[in-house]
Amino acid sequence: TAASLLLIIAFPISPINLKEELEPGKSSCASRRHCHKISSSYHKPPSPYLLSMLRDYEQRHKRCEPLSESFNRSFFQKQNYSTKSHQTSHVVDDDDCSYVVFTRPTNGLGNRMLSMSSAFLYALLTNRVLLVDFGPDMTHLFSEPVPNSTWLFPEDFRFGNRIYGSKVDDFGSLMKKKNNNYTDPVLVNISSSFLHVNLGYGYDDYDKLFYSNGVQDGLQKVAWLILKSDQYFVPYLFLMSGFRAKLDRMFPDKEAVFHHLGRYLFTPSDQAWGLIARFYDAYLEKADERIGLQIRVLDSKASPTALVLKQVLRCAQKEAQILPPLATKQNETATKKLVSKKTSYHKAVLVASLSSEFYIELKDMFWKRASASTGSDEEVAVGFHQASREEVQRSNDGSHNMMAWVDIYLLSLCDVLVTSGWSTFGYVAQGLGGLRPWILQIPDTKYGGGDTLWGQACRRAVSMEPCFHFPPSYDDNKVGVRVDGSSTVVHCEDVGGGLKLV
């Protein structure tokens, strides 16, 4: 039943109920929507300081929520609206609300969720409120993070439309005007009230000045930051001296940053929860062990199915040893005599992939051939399941995104994960689940030994944290910070130039 699923996700290690901590006395579910959060607890408990920051955040969010008096005051003042009621001071003081608005990105769901969690951490650090400017393809996926409030930026106020668009400045262009040599600016005066900030793939050196302390001082005065990003930029916030002390207090355990942020922000909507719970109950719940295999192939010509499948088996059977070896021709006849023996251990394997080929092949392989364990004391039965097979990646498609979210969440409920290198889809699953995955190297015939497999098929991640794929370059010290010698931020296993927390 769905109730048993709720119990399963109440993890056994020091279960801490964040929602109860935040709202003492409100442990019964006022609405089904909030039951999910109440029911889920954490692999690693959040620090008291993080809890107190979240409690403050909730108050701030409610005070500043869309269409509230404070919201309107902040929005219209900053637009220089000269109606009498909006003619008060322009200086951002303590009572004013300031925001970071996450705008519609072009990338997939994994990228978006990682970037939203980074924006949320930035909002916590800078006393802002996170709002999201979703399109209709995203609005039905999640429950509201702050109960009885909304994080949806009102449609009528959209930035970039006819009325407001021209008044929004661009951070990178501003930096270009003010600062030509990229040296770490001590303090930058920024007078804009609305600022577009681009921290997404392909951003330039001027955009990257966002990561310098001096610029951050200047940004405090800007009430509206409109953020475009598809990156998990959290690791870089740890490299900024202005934020470090607070971050250390918030996250004594550096590998659980996304685990806490993600589980706070992303609760499935009722619709998503129905899909997750029904699948889980039917196919995964009763297994002794749940294994998630996330196979993300970016270029099917360069990474043909047969080769990727071989690599998956090298990883799962030989290196990670999470799937049993299959019987060889010789011992298969011998084991046939013993097949009536009762299976004592069930493994349920969830295959998440755009394509259905891996699921079909694996299922057939483990069904039609006996496992080498047949006849031994512990006989293992392996069942394969796939929730969705979308075949191609689509954008701006609500039902496609729903399937992606369901797959991510189901993966996060597994006990063991194999994820594909470079995939933010896998990062979100591992972070929500609190799992250190085996990272699969998807073979690519364009590189290395053609279709010969060599080297490691997969390796265990050093932490459950996602990777920041495209951080600013630190080697040339353009923004004045270095990763060298840091024991908190290291290079990612799957992306050489990327950074992750450990």
CA–CA–CA angle 309, 314, 316 (5° rounding): 90
- 301 Cβ contact list (under 8 Å, min separation 6): none
Q: Match 């997404």 to its residue by tokens.
A: 200
Instruction: Supply the minimum distance, in Å, between the C-beta of residue 474 and ligand GDP.
Output: 23
Given 222, 277, 354, 481, the residue binding ligand GDP (CB under 6 A): 354
Q: Which is nearer to ligand GDP, 374 or 388 (CB)?
A: 388
238, 210 contact by CB (below 8 A)? no
Sign of CA dihedral 490, 494, 496, 498: negative
Q: Are strands 169-170 and 194-198 parallel, antiparallel or unpaired?
A: parallel
Amino acid at 491: H
**H helix or E strand, kind and range, residue 75:** helix 69-78
Site string for ligand GDP, 380-409 (x = CB under 6 A): --------x-x--x------x--xx--x--
Determine the size of the site formed for ligand GDP (CB under 6 A).
19
Q: Does 352 bind ligand GDP (CB under 6 A)?
A: yes
**Rounded-to-integer distance, Cα 354 and Cα 112, Å:** 18
Given 45, 46, 110, 443, the residue binding ligand GDP (CB under 6 A): 110
Site string for ligand GDP, 122-151 (x = CB under 6 A): ------------------------------
Q: Which is nearer to ligand GDP, 74 or 424 (CB)?
A: 424
Q: Does 419 bind ligand GDP (CB under 6 A)?
A: no
Q: Which is nearer to ligand GDP, 109 or 417 (CB)?
A: 109
Given 109, 138, 237, 439, the residue binding ligand GDP (CB under 6 A): 109
174 φ/ψ angles, rounded to the nearest 5 degrees: -65, -40
**Rounded-to-integer distance, Cα 116 and Cα 123, Å:** 10
Q: Does 170 bind ligand GDP (CB under 6 A)?
A: no
Given 40, 103, 423, 463, the residue binding ligand GDP (CB under 6 A): 423
Q: Does 296 bind ligand GDP (CB under 6 A)?
A: yes
CA–CA–CA angle 112, 411, 13 (5° rounding): 105
Q: Of how many residues is the chain composed?
A: 502
Q: Does 36 bind ligand GDP (CB under 6 A)?
A: no
Given 39, 98, 111, 374, the residue binding ligand GDP (CB under 6 A): 111
Q: Does 500 bind ligand GDP (CB under 6 A)?
A: no
Q: Does 297 bind ligand GDP (CB under 6 A)?
A: no
Q: Are strands 438-440 and 458-460 parallel, antiparallel or unpaired?
A: antiparallel
Q: Does 441 bind ligand GDP (CB under 6 A)?
A: no
208 φ/ψ angles, rounded to the nearest 5 degrees: -70, -15
**Rounded-to-integer distance, Cα 351 and Cα 288, Å:** 17
Both tokens of 56, joined, read: 């403050």
Angle of the 270-279 helix axis to the 398-412 helix axis, nearest 10 = 50
Instruction: Supply the minimum distance, in Å, between the C-beta of residue 500 and ligand GDP.
Output: 15
Q: Which is nearer to ligand GDP, 219 or 272 (CB)?
A: 272
Given 103, 267, 303, 353, the residue binding ligand GDP (CB under 6 A): 353
Applying CB under 6 A, which residues contact ligand GDP? Answer: 107-111, 296, 352-354, 388, 390, 393, 400, 403-404, 407, 423-425
